[in-house]
Chain A
Amino acid sequence: MSLWEYANPKKFMQVSARVLPVVIGLAAVSLCVGLIWGFFLTPDDFRQGSTVKIIFIHVPTAMMAINAWVMMLVASLIWLVRRHHVSALAARAAAPVGLTFTAIALVTGALWGQPMWGTWWAWDPRLTAFLILALFYLGYIALWQAVDDPDTAADLTAVLCMVGSVFAVLSRYAVKFWNQGLHQDSTILKVGEADPIAPAYYVPLVVCIVGFVLLFVALVLLRTRTEIRARRLSALLARERLA
Chain B
Amino acid sequence: MMPDLGRYAVAVLSSYGATLALLAGLVALTLWQGRRVKRQLAEVEARQGQSQGKHDG
Interface residues of A (CB under 8 A from B): 9-10, 35, 39-40, 44, 49-51, 53-54, 57-58, 61, 85, 96-97, 100, 103-104, 107-108, 111-112, 114-115, 215, 219, 222-223, 225-226, 229-230, 232-233, 235-237, 239-240
Is B26 a contact of A50 with CB atoms below 8 Å?
A: no
With a cutoff of 8 Å between Cβ atoms, the chain A residues found around residue B45 in the complex are 236
- Choose one: B18, B26, B53; the contact of A96 (CB below 8 Å): B26
- Choose one: A107, A219, A230; the contact of B26 (CB below 8 Å): A219
0 or 1 for each of B1-37: is its CB under 8 Å from A? (1 = yes): 1011111110110111011001101110111011001
Interface residues of B (CB under 8 A from A): 1, 3-9, 11-12, 14-16, 18-19, 22-23, 25-27, 29-31, 33-34, 37-38, 40-41, 44-45, 47-48, 50, 53, 55-57
Minimum CB distance partner of A243 in chain B:
B48
A to B contact number (C-beta, < 8 Å): 106
What's the Cα separation between A85 and B9 when bound, in Å? 47
Minimum CB distance partner of A48 in chain B:
B8
Q: Is the interface of A mostly helix, strand, loop or mixed?
A: helix
Is B30 a contact of A232 with CB atoms below 8 Å?
A: no
Is A229 a contact of B37 with CB atoms below 8 Å?
A: yes
With a cutoff of 8 Å between Cβ atoms, the chain A residues found around residue B11 in the complex are 51, 54, 111-112, 114-115
- Choose one: A97, A104, A233; the contact of B41 (CB below 8 Å): A233
**Which has the most chain A C-beta neighbours within 10 Å: B23, B31, B57?**
B23
Is B22 a contact of A50 with CB atoms below 8 Å?
A: no
Is B15 a contact of A57 with CB atoms below 8 Å?
A: yes
Given A103-B22, A226-B30, A240-B48, A39:B7 Cβ within 8 A: no
Given A104-B22, A226-B30, A9:B55 Cβ within 8 A: yes
Is B1 a contact of A236 with CB atoms below 8 Å?
A: no
Nearest CB on B from A31, distance (A): 9
Nearest CB on A from B27, distance (A): 7
Minimum CB distance partner of B3 in chain A:
A40
What's the Cα separation between A230 and B41 when bound, in Å? 7
Nearest CB on A from B46, distance (A): 11
Minimum CB distance partner of A35 in chain B:
B16
- Choose one: B9, B26, B37; the contact of A100 (CB below 8 Å): B26
Q: Which 10 A-B pairs have the closest CB atoms?
A: A50-B5, A226-B34, A108-B15, A100-B26, A51-B8, A54-B15, A50-B8, A233-B41, A111-B15, A10-B55
